[in-house]
Structure 1
């Protein structure tokens, strides 16, 4: 028998919004995103210090995505079973240990092992956080709250990409790993102290394995979470292709210096934050979720032509990227709130969110290799346009499917 972190009945109960708690959760998300953003700026240093091949360097970057694609639904079910607060603290512990161990890596093996440990913690944090948000935010504020939460990744990633050169110049990459470990440990203490009132004592007597598989199966059979996961896959596919290859595009196609290309890329990533906030605000004002996803996908598809077809100079391409990232930010805000709304039962919020994260990680994993393959075969970045445009069209089609699902759901609620 295991203690449940929260009485599931509290999920559906109206609560007074605790904004300080919401921003604490957002801070945890940013700290987790730091661990994603800390690697790209120092990858050349890692390769030199540890003798990493380009193949192993790719694994250092993608360890988070591999784990997310494999275990997200199971991680969500475990979080719903053991409790969101407990799993957030466990995730922070994994990331603390991973960052601390990685600082002492003398080989690719230890560094990769530490990155997988960090990735495990990251998955538990981002999957468990929405369930905790529902417990500390009133129903009337949920849409804007998820808009804020959806900005944790671009905010944290962009912040670390900007800070990393300064931290490395002062402390080296190993020192930066230590600093991140200390920050994550600080959040463990802070969460343990400030969320004591969220700890509960409900006992679960059902067989854990049977419960986990039953929860996952019930979520998979629900059309809402499945459509949201597919929408997230199309968004993540486009997102990482554009932002991941932007420095390369600016350097190789426009002749910019590496430092300037890195700064411009971080600024572009940061514009995803106001997009998330705008998406949450529009949801709060009553704009339909499917419409936000459709409009954002349409804008992203159009911007791909601006970014990859040389119809203008570097300014035109960069403005296209800014608009792409800003408009795209409305999609995570819409989807993350949708995970809570479309969960088969209120207590399966994290399981539904796990399915969403699996879709996102699959998109992140598949996008860059596929586009890189097409570009290398054709010899031109213009070919990337058509791949991304097709994915954007798929996103539009999925948004129309989501429209039908949500309309049927509203009709059932009126019966």
Structure 2
């Protein structure tokens, strides 16, 4: 495979989609997303057990993604050099290590450090996964495969929100997630075969050159910014929805988890619709702009204290469902807008950096704003991020399909 022409080393040419492999990529990605959702549903327990403030709880959620803010492109380079299978396996092991270590954390900073390890594992899965999909899915099925895969975040968070209250303590929830990651690693290692890798050695100069070419192409950078704006809105709402429901609706943690899971699960609707819409000729920029605009408008009213509690929940369902159009649109566009096929992992890495930037900014920014000015103040950054997403969508006009 090392002798493949430069243009075909990243995506192996397949004529029939390996759907079991696609399903397994989705499954291990869901395991990664569980680590995001578990912090949201466990936040009240963490506050009570470790004495965390709301702002500190925001950091427990956001620091998970911190390493990805700068690590997406380097992991993209590693993917090209060592292959998607190797990185995803190591990512699952990192998830297991971080989750198992976090279960024994006795304070804020040990827990934060364990979350950083988990975040590194998430990155090692999220960046290579689209590349792996690209080599197991036939060209005509790739948008559908990306649409199915992009449901992993909503599915993982929703499962964590539903299952979390069943555990007697947050520590047991962490231990269960660590064991699940180890089991997933075993299955993945057995089922998935190694793919093509580059014979060229890694070097800072080469990575810098490839990164510069990817950014200069324009499209991948715009997709990364669109993903950052989306995740700032999405994780600002998702991260605090359970505690918002307990405070505004006065429901139990278990009920808040179920309601949150239902609302977040609506994200899957948009995820699955994006592929067929693109196949029917709807431009990616239209989907980016539409999703961002609806999220910004509904997000504005979700956080306003004058909005009736029941309407807050219904608005979040719309916020989540329409917003679901954006992740597969962006992730599917990253390889397509790469300046060269061999730069697809770098392009995906850049987009994942945008994804993680939004994940970091959303909970931290909103947690700090709410702690200082109340829930209504959170409407401002969410609405502004929506406006930003609409502008980025407009700037994407004419770039690719």
TM-score (norm 1): 0.87
* 2:263 aligned to which of 258, 263, 268: 268
1:290 is the counterpart of 2:285: yes
For 2:150 and 2:61, the matched residues in 1 are separated by 21
Flag the 1:221–1:286 CA change in 2: closer, same or farther, 3 A.
Answer: same
In structure 1, the residue matched to 2:232 is 237
| Residue of structure 2 in register with 1:93 after alignment | 93
**2:219 touches 2:399 (CA, 8 Å); kept in 1?**
yes
Q: Pairwise mapping of residues 121-136 of structure 1 onto structure 2 (< 5 A)?
A: 121-136=121-136
Q: Which residue of 2 aligns with 1:213?
A: 208
Q: 2:10–2:341: 8 Å Cα contact kept in structure 1?
A: no
The alpha-carbon distance between structure 1 residues 334 and 263, as it changes in their structure 2 partners (threshold 3 A), is same
What CA distance in whole angstroms lies between the structure 2 residues aligned with 1:122 and 1:279?
A: 24
Confirm whether residue 190 of structure 1 aligns to residue 184 of structure 2.
no
What's the offset of the Cα at 1:292? 1.1
- For residue 25 of structure 1, what is the aligned residue in structure 2? 25
- In the TM superposition, residue 333 of structure 1 has moved relative to its aligned partner by 1.2
Corresponding position of 2:398: 404
Secondary structure of the equivalent of 1:343? coil
Rounded to whole Å, the distance in 2 between the matches of 1:55 and 1:373 is: 5
Does the CA-based 8 Å contact 1:77-1:216 persist in structure 2? no
> Contact conserved, 2:94 with 2:117, CA < 8 A, in 1?
yes
Aligned to 2:257, the other structure's residue is in SS state helix
Cα distance in 2, alignment partners of residues 392 and 315 from structure 1: 23
Q: Distance in 2 between matches of 1:45 and 1:379?
A: 21
Q: Which has the larger radius of gyration?
A: 1
Q: Indicate conservation of the 8 Å contact 1:162/1:263, yes or no.
A: yes
Shift of 1:322: 0.6
Unmatched 5+ stretches in structure 2: none
- Shift of the 277–60 alpha-carbon distance from structure 1 to 2, 3 Å rule, reads same
The answer as to whether partners of 1:15 and 1:135 remain within 8 angstroms in 2 is no
- The offset of 1:126, in angstroms, is 0.4
For 2:9, what is the secondary structure of its paired residue?
A: helix
Mapped to 2, the partners of 1:316 and 1:188 lie a distance apart of: 42
C-alpha distance in 1 between matches for 2:139 and 2:373: 50
Superposition pairs of residues 108-119 of structure 1, within 5 angstroms = 108-119=108-119
| Aligned residues of 1:81 and 1:212 also touching (Cα < 8 A) | no
Offset at 1:239?
0.9
Answer whether contact 1:144 1:283 (CA < 8 A) is retained. no
1:271-294 Cα offsets, whole Å, 9 max, x none, are 111111111221222221111112
Q: Structure 2: how far apart are the matches of 1:51 and 1:257? A: 20
2:138 is matched with which residue?
A: 138
Q: Distance in 1 between matches of 2:384 and 2:17?
A: 41
Q: Residue 325 of structure 1: CA displacement? A: 0.5
Seen in structure 2, the aligned counterparts of structure 1 residues 367 and 99 have a Cα distance that, compared at 3 Å, is closer
| Residue in structure 2 matching 1:280, options 265, 272, 275 | 275
Structure 1: distance between partners of 2:54 and 2:251: 23
CA apart distance, 1:154: 0.8
- Cα 1:282/1:66, change in 2 over 3 Å: same
Give the structure 1 partner of residue 321 of structure 2.
Answer: 326
Say yes or no: does 1:11 pair with 2:11.
yes
Of the candidates 329, 347, 353, which is equivalent to residue 352 of structure 1? 347
Q: List gaps (5 residues or longer) in structure 1.
A: 411-415
Q: For the Cα contact (< 8 Å) 1:95–1:117, is it kept in 2?
A: yes
Give, in whole Å, the separation in 1 of the partners of 2:190 and 2:381.
48
May I ask how many residue pairs the two structures share in their alignment? 399
Judging changes above 3 Å, is the alpha-carbon distance between structure 1 residues 374 and 41 closer, same or farther for their aligned structure 2 residues?
Answer: closer
Q: Distance in 1 between matches of 2:266 and 2:203?
A: 42
Map 1:362-401 to 2 at 5 A: 362-372=357-367, 381=376, 383-401=377-395
Instruction: Within 5 Å, give how 1:153-232 maps onto structure 2.
Output: 153-166=153-166, 168-169=167-168, 172-196=169-193, 198-200=194-196, 204-232=199-227
Q: Distance in 1 between matches of 2:397 and 2:115?
A: 39
Cα distance, 1:360 vs. partner? Answer: 1.7
Aligned to 2:75: 75
TM-aligned CA deviation for residue 308 of structure 1: 3.9
CA distance in 2, matches of 1:315, 1:46: 27
Give distance in 1, aligned partners of 2:76 and 2:253.
39
Cα distance in 2 for partners of 1:26, 1:150 equals: 8
Cα distance, 1:145 vs structure 2? 0.7
